Amino acid sequence: MPPTIPDPADIKAAVDVALAEDIGTGDFTTKAVIPADTRLNLIMATRQDIVVAGLPVALEVFRRLDPDAVITVETNDGAKIPAATVIARIEGQAEALLAAERTALNFMQTLSGIATLTRTYVDKIEGTGAVLLDTRKTLPGLRALSKYATVMGGATNHRMRLDDGVLIKDNHIAVAGAVGEATRRAKAAGLKNIEVECDTLDQVAEAIEAGADSLLLDNMGPDMLVQAVDICAGRVMLEASGGVNLATIRAIAETGVDSISVGALTQAAPAVDIGLDLAD
């Protein structure tokens, strides 16, 4: 089942690091400019059309610095909302909320950016039957949250870690000497659900003969993908990957592959514009 909220341990770890790097020994500006007993009413709102992701993380930032803050959430992660929509209202101690502002927005803008781009890709392949997958191409330390954001955008998680599934890639094959030999070694080691990366149609046939359970078809154009689908004839699951973008993904999906992995979801998603302003 896909995650409906991020793992609390992942939230805690990310917030610990983010607050430490942003606050340091304290917010000298706010302490000097704003009286200590000041309270604020803030509105978090999007300034562009987005898919929301990261609310549980951002709210943890505010609660960490002001446990008594009153927070009213007006939308949910996974929601597609237009510009000017209020995401949340936060009322609390001024020094705490202002110290939390940048970190909370960084999480919201980054994760919502991933979810928003992901939804764009999902919409491109609607009706084809192909499933959009994410990859391990994530910022170090933010993998769990980034992959959570892709799910909020409508994608399906692929491998989370190296111990989460078996994928024989080109360098494994180069060292082993051939696709078939690498596959046989993995099976001899007792590994299950073995996926093999294939660059050519000859490798596709070799991987199937060696007993691969699924294939990653790397950097194949639509014509070659159609041939690979015909060769496999439904015997294994097929994942297309490599150089996929918004201009090419529909044609790839229409070849009959089962899934398409896109590194850009987590590697190249632009942050979205979300603001935190004083309530009127």
Catalytic residues, which ones? Answer: 102, 137, 169, 197, 218
Among 277, 279, 274, smallest CA distance to 105 is for 274
Burial 214-234 (b: 16+ CB within 10 A, else e): bbbbbebebebbeebbebbee
- Helix segments in 90-247, DSSP class H: 94-124, 143-152, 170-176, 179-188, 201-210, 222-232
- Going by the DSSP 8-state scheme, the letter that residue 262 receives in this structure is -
d(CA 222, CA 160) in angstroms, rounded, equals 28
What's the token pair of residue 95?
Answer: 């020094």
d(CA 268, CA 265) in angstroms, rounded, equals 6
